[in-house]
Amino acid sequence: MLIEEVEVRAVERLSPSFVRVELGSPALAELGVSSTSYDQRIKLIFPDGDHPLPAFEGVGEGWYGEWLARPEAERGHMRTYTIRGVRGEGESTRLVVDIVVHEGATGPAGIWGERAAVGDRVICTAPRRGHEYGGIEFAPSDGDALLLVGDETAVPAVAAILEQLDVAARGAVFLEVPFAADVLTLEHPEGVGVRWLPRDGGPRGEALHAAVLEHLGAQAASLEVDESEIDPDLWETPFYSSSGEAEGGNGRSVGHEWHGLYAWIAGESKVVTGLRRALVKDLGLDRHQVAFMGYWREGRSIS
Ligand SMILES: Cc1cc2nc3c(=O)[nH]c(=O)nc-3n(C[C@H](O)[C@H](O)[C@H](O)COP(=O)(O)OP(=O)(O)OC[C@H]3O[C@@H](n4cnc5c(N)ncnc54)[C@H](O)[C@@H]3O)c2cc1C
């Protein structure tokens, strides 16, 4: 794994809610991101105010425990992001990350993104060439019809996935963003339809929930999710379950009504919980054909 201090080499405001940063360091020559990195996640550590970034020289596999043991202000703030792209090569390699900036309550990463300028520095953990890293969840079977659903924080992952799909891929994508001006131009195979759903002040998740159920030919059941149902760390994939549900391999049931569909759903945990309930409990999708990921939880800081 790479754990390196990287520098902002370019900043571009893509839209009201997206800031694109290109991060560089000679150490990125060893970045190990393949052409099918899909939704490859990375960790970024942002500085705490004027405190310097934590140093990681010489730390090995136990870096996380060592980092956690440091005093809070020295640690900085670790958050999860997606590799939107990789530009250049060798020591000129740049890691492209799209950061959502938002109004209202916001955390250190959002604030950093809003103010990002060339020369700013963060720590980045990312895959190193030739070493195991993990962090890719998108795993459909060949020929599956795809259903990709996300809010603004999942737009970078969906955009990266779409660029890397086979030209013959087919399916539907639903993306909820804060404003109509956040609709981006994405590259995608012809057989994959992309529908943007700007909230423009409307309630979070409502239009997304309804559009996904309509796509599946189901009635939009109530979106109401009780607080007690929400797992802020929601992560239910064919290979991992944050709720401890029985795991298993990719054993999708042949003959099942939804056989041949693969759903990848990420965003705010309450919205994703509502979709999970609708798709798995109400419509009966097999949990082996869906990945539900809480990328963030309203009102909470999540590293
Ligand atoms: C696998 C994975 C990949 C991700 N990829 C990306 C990515 O590429 N780009 C990206 O922007 N995000 C991405 N996220 C989401 C990002 O990690 C969270 O939004 C994170 O909480 C931002 O940290 P923060 O310091 O701004 O806010 P936090 O300190 O975590 O939270 C502080 C406050 O801000 C609010 N808040 C946090 N995020 C949002 C938001 N998006 N909209 C409105 N309010 C918010 C919280 O509700 C809380 O009240 C990803 C998350 C995961 C798990």
Q: Could you tell me the distance, in angstroms and rounded to a whole number, from the CA of residue 258 to the centre of ligand 1?
A: 31
Residue predicted with more confidence, 21 or 55:
21
Going by pLDDT thresholds of 50, 70 and 90, the confidence category of residue 244 is confident
**pLDDT of res. 222:** 62
Which parts of the chain fold into alpha helices (H)?
63-68, 72-75, 108-115, 155-164, 206-215, 269-276
Domain ranges of the chain: 2-126, 145-296
Beta-bridged to residue 174, according to DSSP, are: 149, 195
Q: Is 299 in the pocket of ligand 1 (CB under 6 A)?
A: yes
pLDDT at 221 over 70: no
Instruction: Summarize pLDDT for 122-131 with one digit per residue, the tens.
Output: 999 999 999 9
**Which residue's CA is minimally distant from atom 4 of ligand 1?**
81
**pLDDT of res. 249:** 43
Q: Is 156 in the pocket of ligand 1 (CB under 6 A)?
A: yes
pLDDT at 229 over 50: yes
pTM: 0.95
With the CA atoms of 249, 250, 251 and 254 taken in that order, what torsion angle do they form, in degrees rounded to the nearest 10? Answer: 180
Q: Could you tell me the distance, in angstroms and rounded to a whole number, from the CA of residue 109 to the centre of ligand 1?
A: 7
Give dist(CA 47, CA 195) in Å, integer.
36
Domain 2-126, CATH class in plain words: mainly beta
Stretch among 31-35, 77-81, 173-177 having the lowest mean pLDDT: 31-35
Helix (H) or strand (E) holding 26: none
Nearest atom within ligand 1 for CA of residue 135: 1
With the CA atoms of 122, 124, 129 and 135 taken in that order, what torsion angle do they form, in degrees rounded to the nearest 10? Answer: -150
Cα–Cα–Cα angle for 140, 137, 57, nearest 5°? 150
**pLDDT of res. 250:** 43
Percent of residues, the chain, with pLDDT higher than 70: 95
CATH entry, 145-296, from 3.30.470.10, 3.40.50.300, 3.40.50.1000, 3.40.50.80? 3.40.50.80
pLDDT at 220 over 80: no
Across 232-236, 272-276, 297-301, the highest mean pLDDT is recorded for 272-276
The average pLDDT across 184-193 equals 98
The average pLDDT across 90-119 equals 94
pLDDT at 95 over 80: yes
The average pLDDT across 146-156 equals 98
Q: Could you tell me the distance, in angstroms and rounded to a whole number, from the CA of residue 302 to the centre of ligand 1?
A: 7
Give dist(CA 13, CA 100) in Å, integer.
10
Residue predicted with more confidence, 224 or 301:
301
